[in-house]
Homo-oligomer: A and B are copies of this chain.
Amino acid sequence: MDARDRLESALELAIASQTAECPPGLIAAMRYSIFPGGARLRPRLCMSVAWACGADDHRLTIGAAAAIELLHCASLVHDDLPAFDNADTRRGKPSVHRAFGEPLALLSGDALIVLAFDVLARAAAARPDRLADLVRIVAAATGAEGGICAGQAWECEPHIDVPRYHRAKTGALFSAATMAGAAAAGAPHAGWRQLGECLGEAYQIADDIRDVVCNPAELGKPVGKDAALMRPSACRELGVRGAIARLTGLVDAAVESIPACRRSGDLGALIRQEASHFLPQEVADLAA
C-alpha cells in the first residue's frame, strides 16, 4: 500500500470509529467533507518528513498526517459557511452547508477538529511520550494563537496584518505538517518549521494566482473571491509574473531549509516535484 492509500485508510478508519453513536446526518456530512479528498498535500508532506527523519512508528506517522488533514477539512467546511466565504462549491461539488445545511456543516467542522485530536491520541498508543508535542503542534496550527482561527479572524479586523494573516491562515498548517512529521518520528521538530512556512507561503501565492487566472470548472470552486472580498493577494501586490517568481524563490528556500536528516536529498526532490503541480503548466509557463 502506498502512502496515499495508507492515508485514505486512516481517514476511513477515523470516520468508521464515529458511526455507532453518531446521528446519520452528521456522519454523512463529515464523510462528505473528507472524501473524495483534494491533493492531500499537507498530510503527504507530513509523512514525507517523517520518513526522511527515519520514522520508526508508522501508525503514529499516518495518524499525525490524518489529524492534519482532518483539521484542514474542518477549516474548509467552516470557511465556506455563509458567515465567511459563503461558497456554494468546493472541490467541484456543493459545499457542505449547501449539501447538508448550515447546522450540520458547522457541527461537522467542530466534530472533525475533535476527531483530529482523538486520532492523534489513538495513534500514539506505542509512543505516549510523543503525544504532547504532537497535540501542541497541531493545536498551535489551528487555534487562536497564530493558527487557522487567527488567520480567519484577521478578516474581521478593520486593519489586516497581511504577513501574519497568511502565516496563520495557510502557513501554520503547512508548518504543523512538517513539524508533526518530525515529532512523529521522534526527531527534534523546531528546525522543520521553516520548510512548512516556505511551502505554505508558496501554496498561498499559487492560490492567489489561480484565483486570478483559472476558470472555476478547472478549480472546482469559485474564482475572483479574493478581489470580491477585498482580501490581500500576492497578484495585486506583485502582478502575476511577479507572484510566480516569488513562488519559485520560496520553493528554493524551502528545499534549502531542510534540516540534516537521513533522506534529505530524496525529500528535496520530492518537494520540488510536488511544488511543480501548485500551478497548472500553462500558468507556470507565463513566467518562463
Q: Is the CB of B135 within 8 A of A121?
A: yes
Assuming the A-B contacts A118-B140, A156-B26, are A78 and B104 also in contact, with contact meaning beta carbons closer than 8 angstroms in the complex? no
Instruction: Decide: A144 near B113, CB < 8 A? Known: A135-B131, A164-B21.
Output: no
Interface string of A118-160 (1 = CB under 8 A from B): 1011101100110110011001101111110110111111000
Scoring A17, A74, A152 by chain B CB atoms within 10 A of each residue's CB, the highest score goes to A152
Q: Does A260 touch B at the CB level, under 8 Å?
A: no
Interchain nearest-CB distance for A157 vs B (Å)? 5
Alpha-carbon distance between A20 and B143 when the two chains are bound, in angstroms: 12
Query: A36 near B: Cβ within 8 Å?
Result: no
Report the nearest B residue to A120, measured CB to CB: B135
Residue in B22, B104, B128, B145 whose CB lies within 8 Å of A129: B128
Give 14 A-B contacts (CB < 8 Å), ordered by A residue. Answer: A17-B145, A23-B150, A26-B150, A103-B153, A107-B149, A107-B152, A107-B156, A110-B149, A111-B150, A117-B135, A118-B135, A121-B139, A128-B128, A131-B135
Known interface pairs A24-B157, A111-B150; 7 further A-B residue pairs with C-beta atoms within 8 A, sorted by A's residue number: A21-B145, A110-B113, A111-B143, A111-B149, A113-B114, A114-B139, A121-B139
A positions within 8 Å CB-CB of B = 17-27, 30, 74, 78, 81, 83-84, 101-104, 106-111, 113-115, 117-118, 120-122, 124-125, 128-129, 131-132, 135-136, 139-140, 142-147, 149-150, 152-157, 161, 164, 168
